Amino acid sequence: MTINEAINHPEATLVDVRTPGEVAFESVPGAINIPLDEVPARWEEFKSMSRPLVVFCRSGNRSGQALMFLASKGIEDGMNGGGASDVLIHKM
- Residue 6: phi, psi to the nearest 5? -65, -45
Is 59 a catalytic site residue?
no
Instruction: Name the burial class of residue 11, with classes exposed (0-12), middle (13-18) and buried (19+) by CB atoms within 10 angstroms of its CB.
Output: exposed
| Active-site position among 15, 17, 57, 66 | 57
Catalytic center residues: 57
